[in-house]
């Protein structure tokens, strides 16, 4: 029972609540008390101030080349993160409604083996994302610690305009460590906001799997019913099953449009975040081809994290397109051709014709309404990133 879509989304909303984003479940199970709202206001105010100082550092700061490159990179990535936060808050009511409808549609048709695959895909896909993010952040902390001990450089992870690079006082060091801890903590709501659209993409793709299995199942049952009951009764049962499947398909198309409306900009920003920051990291590799172990580990883990986030978005969006494309053949082979011709009140042939026409419309998610979110787009973005790196590396050499 806990593997059902409803409970999976409910668990994700609980994670959102504990990271400080608020209650996004349609039931008031996680209360937003005055204390909680105050905590959320303070924490996101600190995030906003830190990101503002990063932007000032990127534009006006005077830093060595490595720190300056980091300032530009983190200003870009954290501006996108902040935009995703406030977009997420803006769509809070719509997300609650989406969670309610996503959990309810086709709930009686869900099969345990399909739901188990969905559960493991959501759990381990998102868990691996969390692990890679904190591996990357840990590598940044280790490299900054090494540089401060071995080279006597200031402890810098996120590069802010204040404290200044030349400031070596105790107060400056305390604030640098504070900003690093803030960065570590900011990743929790950031990852929850990233994982929510990904979870919805996975859930709707498995809803299409459930719907396809429904049409395959009613065909199997129809073949058996033709042997055990009168043909009119078997045809009536098949007609009811087809009608239920068509209604579910219409609901899924509506929910897909809602996902595009609510999460479309967030998904697009995630694509920009991954691709742009990967280029910045490749630039760091091009400018510093001979790195020590910790610096190389820091850079490569960050690149891997960004490419994995990009893969989670594009692969799962592409999976929705793929699973939706498999529905039309399942509808066509539901058994309509064995039904009696000339029953105007139960004209299953016309019903199947309409259903097949609707199922053949491609369901494609797009970034900013231009680029398809699909497997091929992921390959194109990865190639583009490597091409930029190759050009910069040759120029640096």
Residue 31 burial (10 A CB sphere; 0-12, 13-18, 19+): exposed
Residue 301 falls within a domain, yes or no? yes
Residue 79 falls within a domain, yes or no? no
Q: Give me the pLDDT at residue 324, please.
A: 96
Q: Which residues of 237-263 are buried (b: 16+ CB within 10 A; e: fewer)?
A: ebbebbebbbebbebbeebbebbbebb
Q: Give me the pLDDT at residue 270, please.
A: 85
CA end-to-end span of the chain: 59
Query: Do residues 381 and 271 make contact, with C-beta atoms less than 8 angstroms apart?
Result: yes
- Give the helix/strand (H/E) hosting 325: helix 293-325
Residue 334 falls within a domain, yes or no? yes
Residue 346 falls within a domain, yes or no? yes
Task: Give 370's DSSP letter.
Answer: T
* Sign of the CA dihedral with 216 first, then 221, 227, and 230 last: negative
Q: Give me the pLDDT at residue 66, please.
A: 75
Residue 39 falls within a domain, yes or no? no
Calpha distance 143→124 (Å, rounded):
28
Residue 74 falls within a domain, yes or no? no
Calpha distance 132→135 (Å, rounded):
5
Query: Do residues 97 and 201 make contact, with C-beta atoms less than 8 angstroms apart?
Result: no
Look up the domain containing 24 and give its range.
Answer: 5-32+93-149+179-396
Q: Give me the pLDDT at residue 287, please.
A: 62
Calpha distance 54→48 (Å, rounded):
10
Q: Which residues are within 8 A (CB) of 134 and not within 5 positions of it... i.e. 6 or more apart?
A: 184, 187
Q: Give me the pLDDT at residue 275, please.
A: 76
CA-to-CA separations, 47 to 42, 137, 179, 233, 358, in angstroms, rounded:
9, 16, 9, 64, 45
Spell out the per-residue pLDDT of the chain, length 397, in tens.
567 999 999 999 999 999 999 999 999 888 899 999 999 999 999 999 999 999 999 999 888 877 887 888 889 889 999 999 999 999 999 999 999 999 999 999 999 999 999 999 999 999 999 999 999 899 889 888 988 888 888 888 889 998 988 888 999 999 999 999 999 999 999 999 999 999 999 999 999 999 999 999 999 999 999 999 998 899 889 999 999 999 999 999 999 999 999 999 999 888 888 877 777 777 666 666 566 777 778 778 888 888 899 899 999 999 999 999 999 999 999 988 888 776 655 678 888 988 999 999 999 999 888 888 998 888 888 787 777 667 766 765 5
Q: How many domains is the chain built from? A: 1
Residue 327 falls within a domain, yes or no? yes
Q: Which residues are within 8 A (CB) of 263 and not within 5 positions of it... i.e. 6 or more apart?
A: 91, 196, 197, 200
Calpha distance 172→360 (Å, rounded):
61
**What is the tens place of the pLDDT at every residue in 219-266?**
999 999 999 999 889 988 999 999 999 999 999 999 999 999 999 999
Cα 53–chain centre separation: 28
Residue 49 falls within a domain, yes or no? no
**Pick from 56, 50, 59: which is nearest to 78 by CA?**
50
**Pick from 284, 267, 256, 277: which is nearest to 369 by CA?**
267
pTM, 2 dp: 0.94
**Pick from 133, 141, 136, 180: which is nearest to 297 by CA?**
136
Q: Give me the pLDDT at residue 289, please.
A: 58
Q: Which residues are within 8 A (CB) of 146 and not within 5 positions of it... i.e. 6 or more apart?
A: 292, 294
């Amino acid at each position: 029972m806990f593997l059902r879509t409803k409970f999976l989304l409910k668990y994700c909303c609980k994670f959102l609540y504990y990271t400080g984003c608020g209650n996004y479940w349609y039931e008031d199970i996680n209360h937003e008390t005055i204390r909680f709202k105050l905590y959320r206001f303070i924490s996101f105010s600190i995030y906003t101030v830190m990101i503002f100082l990063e932007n000032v550092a990127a534009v006006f700061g005077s830093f060595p080349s490595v720190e300056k490159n980091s300032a530009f990179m983190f200003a870009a990535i954290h501006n996108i993160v902040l935009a995703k936060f406030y977009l997420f808050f803006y769509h809070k009511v719509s997300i609650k409604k989406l969670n309610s409808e996503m959990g309810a549609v086709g709930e009686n048709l869900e099969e345990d083996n399909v739901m188990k695959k969905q559960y493991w895909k959501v759990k381990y896909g998102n868990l691996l994302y969390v692990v890679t993010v904190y591996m990357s952040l840990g590598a940044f902390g280790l490299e900054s610690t090494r540089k401060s001990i071995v080279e006597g450089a200031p402890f810098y992870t996120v590069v802010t305009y204040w404290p200044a690079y030349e400031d070596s006082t105790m107060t400056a060091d305390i604030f640098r460590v504070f900003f690093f801890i803030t960065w570590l903590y900011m990743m929790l709501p950031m990852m929850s906001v990233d994982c929510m659209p990904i979870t919805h993409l996975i859930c709707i793709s498995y809803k299409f799997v459930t719907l396809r299995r429904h049409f395959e199942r009613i065909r199997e049952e129809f073949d058996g019913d033709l042997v055990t009951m009168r043909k009119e009764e078997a045809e009536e049962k098949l007609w009811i099953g087809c009608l239920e499947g068509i209604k579910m398909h219409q609901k899924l198309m509506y929910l897909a449009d809602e996902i595009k409306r609510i999460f479309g900009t967030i998904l697009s920003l995630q694509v920009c975040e991954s691709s742009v920051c990967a280029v910045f990291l490749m630039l760091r590799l091009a400018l510093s081809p001979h790195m020590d172990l910790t610096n190389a580990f820091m850079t490569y883990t960050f690149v891997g994290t960004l490419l994995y986030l990009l893969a989670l978005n594009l692969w799962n969006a592409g999976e929705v397109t793929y699973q939706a494309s498999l529905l039309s053949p399942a509808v066509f082979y539901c058994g309509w051709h064995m039904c009696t011709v000339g029953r105007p009140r139960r004209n299953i042939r016309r019903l199947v014709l309409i259903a097949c026409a609707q199922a053949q419309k491609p369901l494609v998610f797009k970034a900013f309404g231009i680029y398809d979110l699909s497997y091929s787009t992921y390959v194109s973005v990865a190639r583009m990133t490597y091409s930029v790196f190759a050009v910069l590396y040759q120029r640096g050499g």
